Amino acid sequence: INDPRILSEYELPLDKDWEVPRNTVVLGKVLGEGEFGKVVKADCVGVLKRGQSTVAVKMLKDGHTDAEMMALVSEMEIMKVVGKHVNIINLLGCCTQGGPLYVIVEFAPYGSLRDFLRNRPEIITESTNESLEDTGNLTPKDLVSFAYQAAKGMEYLASRHCIHRDLAARNVLVSENFILKIADFGLAKNIETDYYYRKKTSGKLPVRWMAPESLNSMLFTIQTDVWSFGVLLWEIMMLGATPYRNVQGQYLLQHLKAGNRLEKPPSCSLDLYLIMRECWSFYPKGRPSFTVLVKQLEKILTAMT
């Protein structure tokens, strides 16, 4: 393992702006596992901002390939380039020297939005002064606030030329004070020059969140992220339900081509449903931008105050 001739034990370049001493990172329980990586809860002692010692650490699993290592390095580099915003999971630091690569990111105590919504079915409709913080109950306004926050995060990523490609409630995390944060955007490609990105390798695809042109031609653009955002809106209003439950993945494209769309969730207002339907315009140009979505959702949200 210490043999410098083994290329798999890479020497990564040191970036002093981000490097954190390895001995200050105390790993805890596993939060999630993906195909080639895992996310572990950790304590990061005395290095980061005061009071913020709980972090999430992304790392590779044993037996990873060189390509997977390069993917994690590229994810970290994309996070550095994208920069900070309240509604995204921000990079806090990394350990690149003398051991496995640790990519240290913000920890979101309430976990994924999908699980959060599934575990909190209490929706209160009668008006109340009790907030989500007080009661743990969700109001219709909380749900619209979630939609708005996700749109803000996506608007920022779009402004940084970052295409997510896997926007879904499972990839949105719930942080302190119920602040929503878009996660895993570093798996996305930065498209400073290319205005679209074609996926070359065939991993598992999030077909139920994919736009027709992604299903058809593996084309991913900011407009296909907008389609996925519409599905995310639907998930929020359906409290974490699975979209197109009665359609098999392989038939989804023809289902959409035939003009079918997800139905209006029972508790969803018409104006909100019309926003979803705009996101699901068959032609990408018919879909709103994230900036327009932010404005529309802001309007609905303030009308609820």
Number of residues that bind ligand ADE (CB under 6 A): 12
Q: Which residue has the tokens 């997510």?
A: 164
User: Which segment (10-18, 31-39, 122-130, 237-245) binds ligand ADE by CB under 6 A?
Assistant: 31-39
Min CB(176)–ligand ADE separation in Å: 11
β-strand pairing of 54-60 with 219-220: unpaired
Nearer residue to ligand ADE within complex by CB, 10 or 36: 36
Tokens of 116: 């959060």
Bridge partners, 162 (sequence order): 190
Q: Is 58 annotated as a binding-site member? A: yes
Tokens of 268: 């969803």
Min CB(173)–ligand ADE separation in Å: 5
Min CB(36)–ligand ADE separation in Å: 14
- DSSP H or E segment with residue 102: strand 102-106
Taking the C-alpha atoms of residue 10 and residue 40, their distance in angstroms, rounded to an integer, is 21
182 contacts ligand ADE (rule: CB under 6 A): no
Q: Catalytic: which of 3, 15, 17, 166? A: 166
Please indicate whether residue 166 is annotated as part of the active site. Answer: yes
Q: Which of 25, 44, 56, 275 binds ligand ADE (CB under 6 A)?
A: 56
Min CB(172)–ligand ADE separation in Å: 11
Nearer residue to ligand ADE within complex by CB, 173 or 276: 173
Within residues 76-115, the interface with ligand ADE by CB under 6 A covers: 89, 105-108, 111
What are the phi and psi torsion angles at 182 (to 5°)? -70, 130
Per DSSP, the residues of 242-291 read PTTTTS-GGGHHHHHHTT--PPPPTT--HHHHHHHHHHT-SSGGGSPPHH
Q: Which positions are annotated as active-site residues?
A: 166
- Residues in binding site for ATP: 58
